[in-house]
Structure 1
Amino acid sequence: MTPLKIGACLRSAEVAAHRAWLFEAERDIELQDFMTHAALGAERADRIAAAKAALAGHTGRVGVHGPYEGLDIDNKDAELRPLITARFLRALEAAEAVGARQMVLHSPYRAWFQNNRLAAPGYPEAKLDRIHDVLDPVVRQAEAAGITLVIENIEDVDPATRRGLVESFASPAVALSIDTGHAQLARRMSGAPPVDYFVRDAGALLAHVHLQDVDGHADRHWAPGEGEIEWAGVFRALAECQGAPHLVLELRDKTEIPKGFAYLEALGLAV
């Protein structure tokens, strides 16, 4: 199996500490400066400037994590949905300004949905309609900007459900993201399949992966090797993907990035 090149998720101010590792190998960077209301409001211009400065000289691929707190893309309140759309559009503008080619959004599918999807007629269809009401304008802007929206699993149980959401847009500007830790938590909490199954189900639609380890109890964002994820199986599945997804370590403690990388490198999985 050929080792895969991985990068990291960082705020602009944290890039310098990992600059040599990131820049010399043209690694993927996911900026996490644009996730809050303040970051996309009064602070947005300053954050864009800081991101551009931090990325100066970087020739690898760049993405951003979009906003998510309080921004359910399946909001049932018709008056609130346009506000969520507007927040995502503001984030897309920031992503375009810093040269990002991806923006991460959170999935709205949870165990509740999986257990109730056939309990009432039209339940899945109504949910999908609300999601499209929120995201259709965002997808159109993403298409125009050449940015791909990647939908990350949060509490998803069946990976095929989120894949169906992505396929419903029939757009190259919408693809799948997998968070390895979230997938493992769903396996323990809700009987989801193993992490490598999430990867294989995504197939050619997989465009982005958050690499983080967990203990099966909480969303730890530990360095690979500290939890229980079967990394060899995950990377075998990644090697079979038809695309070239952004692969980024998303660790709570950014000083652990070298440790996480070294663990995967020692296993012959990452370069």
Structure 2
Amino acid sequence: MTDLPILGAALNLNSFETLRDVMLEKPRDLELQDFVDATVLNGDWASVVERAKTVLDGHEGRLGIHGPFWGFTVNTMDPDVREIVKRRLGQGLDVCEALGATHMVVHSPFSTWDYNNLDNYDGGRYRMVELCHLSMADAVKRAEDIGCELVIENIEDKDPHDRVKLADSFNSKAVAVSIDTGHAHYAHGSTGAPPVDYYVKAAGNRLRHIHLQDADGYADRHWTLGEGTIPWPSVFAALGKLDSQPRLIIELRDHSGLPASIANMKAMGLGQ
């Protein structure tokens, strides 16, 4: 990256309307958060898509959604639950197709327990990947067909390479890697995982999406960038070596902190 990278945001439609001027001043990538809830996906999500097409008029950045994740993992062993997982992923991709969205976030299945125990069982790692394929294979094919990327985001992941290997196992351009900086910082501070920039280096050019949030290394804070303890220069230095053009999505608990997050990164000479 030669010029300062343009920072995007994860917002719902109401927040986008409030922050419209910020989101339209540059071609900022956008991730809509309106479709994570099963009640929306089981209901009249088409009307939400139609509203989005109106609200987002003038938006020039790349568009994606955070996919559903509440109440399940993509490595579920229960075949009945697996059918629900497949349905939820399919519903998310229905939204992507109707909206013209080109990425959907999927949560990683790797837990802190897995880090210590996958190798405690013969074939444990193979079984993890196999279970994920059983849940995700249909979604991967559908994503290929509609030109959407499924980006797998770290949650509890302690080894930053596990998720990369999982993404690679699908052998598909429709599956890539996502990083959440706050999740990585939590894992670093609380479970002994590597620092955030190591997650970027592990992903390399498989990285196509990143959630930027600040935190304290203890919990999943989603603070305004610059208010926590993440060493941002090292993170952006690692990002600057990539050619994969990941979407740089600021994901805050309080969406009103978006302008300050952008300003803080600009003041540090890291983003705009």
TM-score range with shorter-chain normalisation?
Answer: over 0.9
Contact 1:2 1:239 in 2 (8 A): no
2:28 match: secondary structure: coil
1:80 match: secondary structure: helix
Match in the other structure for 1:159: 160
2:42 match: secondary structure: coil
Contact 1:211 1:224 in 2 (8 A): yes
1:144 and 1:23 map into 2 onto residues whose CA distance is 30
Match in the other structure for 1:136: 137
Match in the other structure for 2:54: 53
Q: How far apart are residue 28 of structure 1 and its match? A: 0.4
Task: Map 1:29-178 onto structure 2 (within 5 A).
Answer: 29-178=30-179
Match in the other structure for 1:227: 228
Q: 5+ residue gaps in structure 2?
A: none
1:2 and 1:155 map into 2 onto residues whose CA distance is 33
Runs of 4+ displaced beyond 6 Å? none
Which AA in structure 2 matches 1:231? W
Residues 200-257 of structure 1: per-residue CA shift (max 9 Å, x gap):
1101100000000001221110011111000000000011112100001100111111
Q: When the two structures are superposed, what TM-score results if normalisation uses the length of structure 1?
A: 0.98
1:79 and 1:15 map into 2 onto residues whose CA distance is 37
Aligned length: 271
Match in the other structure for 2:18: 17
Match in the other structure for 1:267: 268
1:65 and 1:152 map into 2 onto residues whose CA distance is 10
Q: How far apart are residue 112 of structure 1 and its match? A: 0.7
Residue 254 (str. 1) matches residue 247 (str. 2): no
2:70 and 2:142 map into 1 onto residues whose CA distance is 21
2:44 and 2:219 map into 1 onto residues whose CA distance is 31
1:68 match: secondary structure: coil
Contact 1:2 1:269 in 2 (8 A): no
Contact 2:212 2:250 in 1 (8 A): yes
2:47 and 2:235 map into 1 onto residues whose CA distance is 38
Which AA in structure 2 matches 1:233? S
1:92 and 1:134 map into 2 onto residues whose CA distance is 14
1:54 and 1:211 map into 2 onto residues whose CA distance is 24
Match in the other structure for 2:238: 237
Q: 5+ residue gaps in structure 1?
A: none
1:117 match: secondary structure: helix
1:120 and 1:26 map into 2 onto residues whose CA distance is 48
Contact 2:186 2:220 in 1 (8 A): yes
Contact 1:210 1:249 in 2 (8 A): yes
2:225 and 2:77 map into 1 onto residues whose CA distance is 37
